[in-house]
Amino acid sequence: MLADFDDACGKIGLQLNLTKTMFMRNGWVPNAPFSLNGTSMPECSSYVYIGREVKMMNDFAPELDRRKRGAWGAYKSIENVVKRLWEPGRYLSRMKPRSASSNALSSG
């Protein structure tokens, strides 16, 4: 199947980068060498695809840890701005309390 994909890519001028290409197998596939054009492909147990870690085992702890580290990294990059803007009571002095008469419904 990968050879067919490689042939289709070659017809439109694309070429697989065999140094970056890896494969992942599930439990239903026997352990056998995997090669394309005589080049042996390395096997991986997980990879990140569109920001999500894909793996054959349903263990989400590493994925959650990876996302937490990413979120903290993003927060730490803007932490000084957030702390400078967030001052307790900063916006309270600008707000005027509503009078009781403005909340009452007028009858007419």
pLDDT, averaged in runs of 10, over the chain (108 residues): 82 86 78 79 82 74 84 90 74 60 54
From the CB of residue 36, how many other CB atoms can be counted at a distance below 10 Å?
15
- Kindly state whether residues 31 and 69 are assigned to the same domain: no
Indicate whether 3 belongs to any domain.
yes
Q: How many domains does the chain have?
A: 2
Indicate whether 18 belongs to any domain.
yes
Indicate whether 100 belongs to any domain.
no
- Kindly state whether residues 62 and 28 are assigned to the same domain: no
- Kindly state whether residues 66 and 40 are assigned to the same domain: no
Range of the domain at 75: 57-86
Indicate whether 108 belongs to any domain.
no
- Kindly state whether residues 33 and 10 are assigned to the same domain: yes
- Kindly state whether residues 36 and 5 are assigned to the same domain: yes
HSE on the CB side for 28, CA within 13 Å?
A: 0
pLDDT at 12: 94
- pTM for the structure as a whole: 0.40
Contact 63, 53 (CB under 8 A): yes
